[in-house]
Structure 1
Amino acid sequence: MLLSLIIYLQSLKWLVPTFIMLGASPCYMTVWAGWRALTAILPRRYYRFGDDILYSSYQRFILFFFENCTGVELFLYGDTDCIVTQQKENVLYMSNHQCTVDWLVCDMVAVRQGMLGNLRYILKDGLRYFPIYGFYLAQHDSLYVKRGGKFNVARANRQLARLRDDKTLTWLIIFPEGTRFNPELPDVIEKSQMYASDEGYKPLNHVLTPRYKAVQVSLEQMRSIISAVYDVTIAYSNTQNEETDERVASPGMIEFLSGASRQIHVHLKRIDIRDVPEDEEELRHWLMDRFQQKEKLLSHFYSEGSKQFPGYPIKSKLGLTPTLPSLIIWGGLLAVSLATSKGRTYHWQSFLGFSVLGCIWMSIRS
């Protein structure tokens, strides 16, 4: 019975961190709203400067739980110098996509170059209605896009042109597959492989066939201020059945906080923007070639006895210095707001208010 209790409590390791992280979001939005109001009549660059600082602080707060508390080991491969030397640059960050933790890996890589507050995302349109975060990320200059024929190129061009014209320091995050690779969804993988065959490409087994339109639009608008493309390939430990060697689903955020994967392996290829094709058809072939390279890397990772990418990794440990101050700030604000009945009332009302008003705003702007 004691063993069952221990196992049960172990499965709930995610509960307290999740409560704290989500619980602090109304505090964050309150501070953000104040800053937005103060800079409303000023040029947007003043708002963006403060917003980037706030976002960096909040994401460091998140990383305290996802990296410091979990004790996960991060292994970096490939062109690691551009990260560990902390030489800031504008980039298009292009990654394979297999689970929600991929978003946190962006944070883990960006914080090591000092660019955490400068992440902007290209997101699936349905995420615009996610409570609080959907609305806020739009205010942080992220883009929501629809796939296929519903892709609004004109709107994407306008939003990206604003970042370009303001010369905004940016990591533009994109997952060209458009959805997650999940071995437990063979229909999705089969459909992707059929699409690759129809387009004349070799079907892929560890990634989905990439869609190029969002990458093309992003590069067309941002090429003049982007230094490079970071081609990132991610793999997680404990994502292979030990008996059959078959790949299994990567952990979601809850499973990750519970210790499902103790290691993250990240291969980074830095590609100078001058080496990225401008012609649409050439760019399409180039993107497919990059995903064929990802296929090779992941095939090596999941080959018998490997569990790592080719080459010699750097084990990168994030200390408490980058994250603890943010924990004190946002955790402290959460504690203060929950300490009194009026604070608790404001807290849940602000969470509800920001969520509802945010969804209404995003619906109007859609």
Structure 2
Amino acid sequence: MLIALTVAVDALRPVVPCSLLSFSMVPFASCSIIIGGVSWIVPNRVAQQLDSMLYKAYMRLCLFVFENLSGVEIYYHGEKQNVVDKSGKPENVVVLSNHQTNVDWIVPVMLAARHGAQGSEQSFRVMVKQSIHFVPLFGWYIFQHGYIYVRRFGEFIGAPVLRQLRWLNESVPPYWLLIFPEGTRLSAKKTQLIKNSNQFLESSGRPPMRNVLCPRSGGLQLALDNLSTLDAIYDVTVMYGQMRKENRRALAPGMFEFCCGPQTHKQIHIHLERISIDKVPKEKSDLRSWTTDRFARKERIIDEFYSENASVGNLLPCVPLSQTLPSTLFFTAALAAPFFSKTVARIYLLTVASSPLLIAWLHIRKCV
């Protein structure tokens, strides 16, 4: 009986962090809607500051789950002083990253938390696929915070993308815009996708790659053309210790395994290079070639990661609990509040019930 109970509890371990992140979106969205209402009677700058505080709190909840709770070891490869523990004014950047799992997005947040004196988690945005706008509450909110929806298939609709880029360019807080040029996750199981990618590379006179897919430069081109306040490109290559296990090459851990899996090989290796914006080509064909060159470099970095002589890197301490625990306690209390207050319960029910209207609002306003 005791053994069965232990097995059952262990099986439920992934439920706790995933439920915390998912259900916290309800009080998060409720607060965001209230801030939206307040924005009608206070200066826009004040509303934006309130939104940044709320978003930063949620990002620190995410860091609590992905760093403090998971027990992951984070290794940094690159020039640390340029990004991590950077002093002075935070930068406006585009983050270019390889894409292997639904954990990849947290890596720039980890870096942003260590950028500047107070951290820059509130700066984090992503260029995401258009279908995510259907996710209840989350899909609506991220557009309000400056995320950019793009279509992977069908006709490109530029107006909402350009509007979001202009908003980012004129926003007061700094921004970190994450772009996955591969367009989809790489996995060793996606043999046809890898084959198609390599066929395109070979038709362009380039060698095949197995650690990354052939990148597209369209999203980066739009960012460079419309973000005049951009300071630099952060070229990030993400590698997971679990992928060094036998028969695990190109099979990155999902969120459950990353947060709640065995501690063996639970490492994340982050190779980062800062590229000043004046060194990035703007002309379309040059940028396409430059982006492919950057991913060819990622190919070599990941090859080295799998080799016996792989660099150990510099171990980064986890974000202190003093930064992440207050936000975690806030959202935990917010989730418990409906059990003690009928008013809060009604607010949450109204928030959940508004999901279809918020999705419809995105379409009415032609945001996607």
With the length of structure 1 as denominator, give the TM-score of the two structures.
0.91
Q: Which residue of 1 aligns with 2:197?
A: 192
Please give the root-mean-square deviation of Cα atoms over the aligned residues, in Å.
Answer: 2.2
Q: Quick one: distance in 2 between partners of 1:241 and 1:186?
A: 20
Correspondence 1:228 to 2:229: no
Unaligned stretches of 5+ residues in structure 1: none
Q: Work out whether residues 72 and 262 of structure 1, in 8 Å CA contact, stay in contact via their aligned partners in 2.
A: yes
Q: Quick one: distance in 2 between partners of 1:314 and 1:122?
A: 29
Q: Which residue of 2 aligns with 1:209?
A: 214
Shift of 1:322: 1.0
Q: Work out whether residues 107 and 116 of structure 1, in 8 Å CA contact, stay in contact via their aligned partners in 2.
A: yes
Q: 292, 296, 301: which one pairs with 2:296?
A: 292
The residue type equivalent to 1:337 in the other structure is: P
Percent of aligned pairs sharing the same letter: 34
Superimposed CA distance per residue, residues 152-178 of structure 1 (whole angstroms, 9 cap, x where no aligned partner): 234322321232234551111111111
Cα distance change on mapping 1:362 and 1:332 into 2, 3 Å: same
SS at match of 1:323: helix
SS at match of 2:177: strand
Q: Quick one: distance in 2 between partners of 1:288 and 1:4?
A: 52
Q: Which residue of 1 aligns with 2:140?
A: 135
Shift of 1:341: 6.0
Q: Quick one: distance in 1 between partners of 2:350 and 2:101?
A: 30
SS at match of 1:201: coil
Q: Quick one: distance in 2 between partners of 1:75 and 1:214?
A: 28
Cα distance change on mapping 1:190 and 1:227 into 2, 3 Å: same
Correspondence 1:160 to 2:165: yes
Q: Which residue of 2 aligns with 1:89?
A: 91
Q: Work out whether residues 84 and 111 of structure 2, in 8 Å CA contact, stay in contact via their aligned partners in 1.
A: no
SS at match of 2:91: coil
Q: Quick one: distance in 1 between partners of 2:351 and 2:243?
A: 35
SS at match of 1:282: helix
Q: Which residue of 2 aligns with 1:110?
A: 112
Q: Work out whether residues 241 and 248 of structure 1, in 8 Å CA contact, stay in contact via their aligned partners in 2.
A: no
The residue type equivalent to 1:182 in the other structure is: S
Correspondence 1:358 to 2:358: yes
Answer with 164-173 or 110-119: which moved more. Answer: 164-173
Cα distance change on mapping 1:361 and 1:315 into 2, 3 Å: same
Cα distance change on mapping 1:344 and 1:96 into 2, 3 Å: same
The residue type equivalent to 1:92 in the other structure is: V
Q: Quick one: distance in 2 between partners of 1:148 and 1:334?
A: 38
Answer with 246-255 or 97-106: which moved more. Answer: 246-255
Q: Quick one: distance in 2 between partners of 1:253 and 1:230?
A: 24
Superimposed CA distance per residue, residues 188-240 of structure 1 (whole angstroms, 9 cap, x where no aligned partner): 11121122223332221101111100000101111x21111000000111124
Q: 123, 144, 148: which one pairs with 2:128?
A: 123
Q: Which residue of 2 aligns with 1:334?
A: 335
Shift of 1:2: 5.0
Q: 263, 270, 279: which one pairs with 1:266?
A: 270
What is the 5 A alignment of 1:62-77? 62-77=62-77
What is the 5 A alignment of 1:290-329? 290-303=294-307, 305-306=308-309, 308=310, 310=311, 312-329=313-330
The residue type equivalent to 1:96 in the other structure is: N
Cα distance change on mapping 1:231 and 1:241 into 2, 3 Å: same
Q: Work out whether residues 10 and 258 of structure 1, in 8 Å CA contact, stay in contact via their aligned partners in 2.
A: no
With the length of structure 2 as denominator, give the TM-score of the two structures.
0.90
Say how many residue pairs are matched. 359
